[in-house]
Amino acid sequence: MIAKEGYPFILTAAVAVLILAIIPEGFLIFLLTVLLVFFIIFFRDPERRIPPFDDIALSGADGKIVDISQEEFNGENFTKISVFMNLFNVHVNRMPLSGKITDITHKAGKFMPADKKESSFENEQNVITVETKYGKAVFKQVAGLVARRTVCYAEKAMNVPMGDRLGIIKFSSRFDHYLPTGFHPAVAEGEKVKAGETVIARYNG
């Protein structure tokens, strides 16, 4: 599958390749073909096998764990786990926990490198608040140095199951999980994870 946000990029590149194939401009055709392949790879949206377990939190993004900490956000304490996505990771985000969307806020901001901890607070982002059976959770889609567009598929008041598609961030970016404090990390910094498949935390109450 391909994420729908990639269709305009892929279609544009495909049309350009077809037009230029008629007019022999070999090197340009080659470059546009490479661009077309890149867009197809970047916007890929593979199916994932959701683990059939309770009391777990799944990664919301493909990428590498860059931060694990206990952190206060809006006056509440959370277990924070952050994933950095590079250009070659799948960029479709998935729901880490089942729950009801209670708020979605878009915050304008900077576009510093998303692997930096400060990007969680300074960069443009979508802040998605979810009421789960474990308490409140917050998920952030954070734009990066290259990524300038965060897209959330969910809407306020929706009930979204764990592992469902939540949105996409176009090009390299970051996904922050703010989990209820009863969750304990099941991953380590530097570990690679997959959205909707990798268990990043377990609930011990």
Q: Considering 59, 82, 172, 173, which one is annotated as catalytic? A: 173
Q: Which amino acid is at 23?
A: I
Please calculate the CA angle 57-60-65 and round it to the nearest 5 degrees.
90
Is 69 annotated in the active site?
A: no
Measure the CA–CA gap between 91 and 195, rounded to whole angstroms: 9
Are 127 and 120 contacting, i.e. CB atoms less than 8 angstroms apart?
Answer: no
> What positions carry a catalytic annotation?
173
